[in-house]
């Protein structure tokens, strides 16, 4: 998936904002008009800002950065998971626990606990435990999986986060800002875009709109990864050519040194 066209935005219902009484005045620059007490988002602005977000995410990915997808409300959960998995990134789609970023050391302990239970489940440890204890461990594992499955392999803090509905995920946004982690987010008409580094004005409630935006970010990451791969390949090929040239030169120099040492010449070889 590449950048969306105007038709894609319209079909996904990206232009539908919230009721006018729920708006945030700071979203005024992104609002096209009011219709039946609903704010209509200016899709020309959406096209402009989704391109800015795409470019920023692509560049982050090209440089090896990790992006965390965040969307815990029901409409966003599945799309966030699928988009993150498609580009081999991390996600939080069940519940944002306070401190997931600002207290990451503690979060890593919970993840280690999850991995330990998973290991014991398959290595035969459970077979040696009382049935009641096994049941408790499985319940604990299920709870940990719901909260940490998407970040189980995230060894360090993310370099950027992508958020669906920063109002809903205000704690995640706040933690990222506190740590200086750039935030990309879909901002509906009830949001404050000034809190977001790369705001994308659009509907953050409709499943099709959420899926579209999550897909764009996933594509940006993949495009960045592909560019990085091509650059690495080109670098290796260039290094290989240089190495081959150095080898050829060294071989010639070595032959000349041997000839000089033992009085062997090309003419002698021919004789």
The answer to whether residues 89 and 70 touch, using CB atoms and an 8 Å cutoff, is: no
Query: What is the band of 236 on the pLDDT scale with cuts at 50, 70, 90?
Result: low
Same domain, 107 and 30: no
Edge to edge, the sheet with strand 16-19 lists 16-19, 38-41, 31-35
Residue 64: which residues within 8 A CB-CB, separation 6 or more? Answer: 228
Q: Are residues 11 and 66 in the same domain?
A: yes
The pLDDT assigned to 111 comes to 97
Is position 52 within any domain? yes
pLDDT bracket for residue 138 (50, 70, 90): very high
* Domain end call among 113, 131, 156: 156
CATH code at 116?
A: 1.10.287.610
Report how far residue 227's alpha carbon sits from residue 244's, in angstroms, rounded to the nearest whole number: 26
**Does residue 171 share a domain with residue 201?**
yes
Let me know if residue 65 belongs to a domain.
yes
> Are both 216 and 236 inside the same structural domain?
no
How confident is the model over 142-179, as pLDDT tens digits?
A: 999 999 999 999 999 999 999 999 999 999 999 999 99
Q: How many CB atoms lie within 10 A of CB 41?
A: 24
93 and 210 in one domain?
A: yes
Give residue 257's pLDDT.
57
- Does 123 share its domain with 170? no
Last residue of a domain, one of 115, 141, 156: 156
pTM, two decimals, is 0.84
Looking at 114, 139, 156, the residue that finishes a domain is 156
Confirm if 220 and 30 have CB atoms less than 8 A apart: no
Quick one: pLDDT at residue 264?
Answer: 52
If asked whether residues 66 and 165 sit together in one domain, one would say yes
215 within domain boundaries: yes
| 132 and 193 housed in the same domain | no
Our count of domains for the chain comes to 3
Residue 1 lies in a domain: no
What is the pLDDT averaged over residues 49-54?
98
Same domain, 177 and 197: yes
pLDDT beyond 70 at 248: no
**Domain identity same for 133 and 29:** no
- DSSP H or E run through 48: helix 43-62
Q: For residue range 97-122, what is the model confidence (pLDDT) as tens digits?
A: 999 999 999 999 999 999 999 999 99
Instruction: Give the domain CATH number at 179.
Output: 3.40.50.10490
| In a shared domain, residues 15 and 136 | no
Return the H-helix or E-strand segment holding 82: helix 74-86
Instruction: Check residue 152 and give its pLDDT.
Output: 96
Do 83 and 11 share a structural domain? yes
Range of the domain at 22: 6-97+157-224
Distance (Å, whole) CA 262 – CA 256: 10
Q: What is the token pair recorded at 103?
A: 């207290």
């Amino acid at each position: 998936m590449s950048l969306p066209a105007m038709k894609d935005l319209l079909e996904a219902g990206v232009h539908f904002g919230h009721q006018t009484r729920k708006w945030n005045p700071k979203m005024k620059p992104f609002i096209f008009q009011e219709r039946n007490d609903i704010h209509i988002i200016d899709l020309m602005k959406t096209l402009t800002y989704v391109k800015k977000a795409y470019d920023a995410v692509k560049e982050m990915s090209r440089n090896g950065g990790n992006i965390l997808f965040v969307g815990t409300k029901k409409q966003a959960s599945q799309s966030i998971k699928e988009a993150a998995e498609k580009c081999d990134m991390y996600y939080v789609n069940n519940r944002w626990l306070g401190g997931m970023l600002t207290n990451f050391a503690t979060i890593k302990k919970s993840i280690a606990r999850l991995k330990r239970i998973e290991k014991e489940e398959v290595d035969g440890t459970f077979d040696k435990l009382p049935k009641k204890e096994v049941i408790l461990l499985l319940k604990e594992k299920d709870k940990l999986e719901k909260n940490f499955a998407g970040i189980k392999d995230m060894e360090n803090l993310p370099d950027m986060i992508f958020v669906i509905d920063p109002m809903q995920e205000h704690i995640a946004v706040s933690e990222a800002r506190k740590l200086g982690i750039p935030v990309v987010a879909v901002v509906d008409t009830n949001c404050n875009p000034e809190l977001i580094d790369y705001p994308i004005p659009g509907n953050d409630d409709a499943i099709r709109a959420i899926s579209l935006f999550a897909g764009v970010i996933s594509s940006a990451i993949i495009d960045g990864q592909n560019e990085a791969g091509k650059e690495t390949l080109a670098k290796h090929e260039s290094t290989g050519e240089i190495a081959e040239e150095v080898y050829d030169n060294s071989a010639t120099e070595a032959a000349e040194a041997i000839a000089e040492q033992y009085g062997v010449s090309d003419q002698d070889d021919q004789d």
